[in-house]
Structure 1
Amino acid sequence: MTLSLKSLAIFLHELRGFLKVLALTVAGTTLALFFASSRLLTGLQDHLGEKLYFFSVAAPFLAHVNLAFFGALYLLMPLCMFVLWKAMGKPFGVTGRKLTWFVVATCVLFYIGTVFCALVTLPFGINFLLSFQSEELRAVISVDRFVTFVTLFLFGFGVIFELPVFMVFSAQVGVISRKAYERNRRYAVLAIAILAAVLTPTPDVLNMALMGVPLYLLYESGILLIRLMGLDKRREESVPPDA
């Protein structure tokens, strides 16, 4: 089955049915985590070794709300992925074990991406950026911008690490074939380079490579998974020969 307006309409209809429950769950978890947000913020500061300041009365409160919200999304990612795949699988007939595989795989890769960012990319990038300070030029980092900066990069890495799963899904439902991914490697490399330049905290080549190389390996692993699972072969067998 190929992508169509009907498939999109079914996807949006299924997604809308889950959004209210999901929104209430995220809101409740955000409220619960708000009371622990001070510890979360202290943990981030200790990990990255930075002192934080605020320049408006509301900045600390908003930073804690922001941190609690992203913390809720992080904890509820399995539920978010279940809702997303449940809606995406409906128009394409992806259910049962296949649906479970997509949910588990995306969650695992998301958490791997965020851990990689937290342990490798963020510390390296922040240390590089702050290496330009001197006795005359000292860094004063606002708490609200720090929280936004860290959470967006963590989630950005988590999302892009899910690339192989969405590649497999696109081949599974017949939207993009393995051969198409192989033919467009050069464009994939260009897109990865642009993403690495935009999403990494520093513009230096080494830091971009810390994101670009794993992302390209994930792209190749997606192609390999499609081949190993025989998705192209199944698709060809399911299509009747021309009369």
Structure 2
Amino acid sequence: MVDQNKLAIFILALQKSVHRLGISLFLLTLVIFFLSPELLKAVQEHLSEKLYFFSVAGPFLSHVKLSLFGAVFLLMPWFLTVLWSAMGKPFKMGKGQIFFFVFFTCILFYVGTIFCYFVTLPLGIKFLLGFGSAELQPVISISRFVTFVTIFVLAFGLAFELPIFMVFMGRVGICTRKFFERNRRFAVLGIAIIAALITPTPDIINMGLMGGPLYFLYEAGIIILRVMRIQ
């Protein structure tokens, strides 16, 4: 019963900000849309890709998707502030604790996206296109390219927030530090599965580029719990 009450408090707190977030996301997407040609050009130059489109609406929809991603990327601190403020109410978290969670989830999100964009994504695309030949030339759709890039960059950013959510679960009593320590082998398995799903290629190098930092963050979460004396 208590858990249902906490869930109701969380949903109610979240609903108060959803409307404003939605309007802000729409307006910022609209603004970025006019800058999206330059944004797409920068991404193409970074990944050295020539793109094509196979439908009349393809380029337009791709610019919309890229603009939406840009808006989500820029508004992520606000999204996280709303999320943690809502999560803090049922668990009676103070403003200092909420600031701690917001600050570090923002940091880890942007570290994850930067790591993906500059390290994993170029290596993954180079690996995939390495199967081309004189007889087999790649013709990449702008729609699939934009979807591919935005989803993986966003997924990496969210995956890198693992230790903060571990600290939160320890803080509110959902999972103890000893639980995380006892289940390292299951964590390794879960991280391997996540790395296989998120990374753009199935090869061991790119999976390692994702799984390695994730396991490091898992251990970091345990260390933080120990330093904060959360059992």
TM range (shorter): over 0.9
- Per-residue Cα deviation, 1:137-179 (whole angstroms, up to 9, x for no partner): 0000000110000000000000000000000000111110000
2:40 aligned with 1:41, yes or no? yes
Alpha-carbon RMSD: 1.0
Letter in 2 for 1:58: A
- Per-residue Cα deviation, 1:4-35 (whole angstroms, up to 9, x for no partner): 11111111111111100000010010000000
Please name the residue that 2:13 is paired with. 14
Describe the SS at the equivalent of 1:6. helix
Please name the residue that 2:73 is paired with. 74
Letter in 1 for 2:182: R
Please name the residue that 1:241 is paired with. none
- Is the Cα–Cα contact under 8 Å of residues 156 and 199 in structure 1 kept in the other structure? yes
- Is the Cα–Cα contact under 8 Å of residues 163 and 219 in structure 1 kept in the other structure? yes
Please name the residue that 2:216 is paired with. 217
**Residue 3 to residue 36, structure 1, CA distance change in 2 (3 Å):** farther
- Per-residue Cα deviation, 1:12-64 (whole angstroms, up to 9, x for no partner): 11111110000001001000000000011000000000000000000000000
Letter in 2 for 1:126: I
- Is the Cα–Cα contact under 8 Å of residues 3 and 175 in structure 1 kept in the other structure? no
- Per-residue Cα deviation, 1:64-94 (whole angstroms, up to 9, x for no partner): 0000000000001100000100111110011
Please name the residue that 1:179 is paired with. 178
Distance in 2 of aligned mates of 1:112 and 1:7: 31
Distance in 2 of aligned mates of 1:4 and 1:221: 28
Distance in 1 of aligned mates of 2:166 and 2:121: 27
Please name the residue that 1:159 is paired with. 158
Within 5 Å, give how 1:1-243 maps onto structure 2: 4-232=3-231
TM-score by length of 1: 0.94
**Residue 193 to residue 101, structure 1, CA distance change in 2 (3 Å):** same
Distance in 1 of aligned mates of 2:159 and 2:48: 26
Q: Which runs of 5+ in 2 are unaligned?
A: none
Distance in 1 of aligned mates of 2:50 and 2:122: 14
Describe the SS at the equivalent of 2:132. coil
Distance in 2 of aligned mates of 1:95 and 1:21: 23
Describe the SS at the equivalent of 2:135. coil
Identity across matched positions, percent: 56
Describe the SS at the equivalent of 2:90. helix
Describe the SS at the equivalent of 2:89. helix
Describe the SS at the equivalent of 1:15. helix
TM-score by length of 2: 0.98
Cα distance, 1:3 vs structure 2? 7.4
Cα distance, 1:95 vs structure 2? 2.3
- Is the Cα–Cα contact under 8 Å of residues 11 and 91 in structure 1 kept in the other structure? yes
Distance in 1 of aligned mates of 2:88 and 2:169: 11
Letter in 1 for 2:155: G
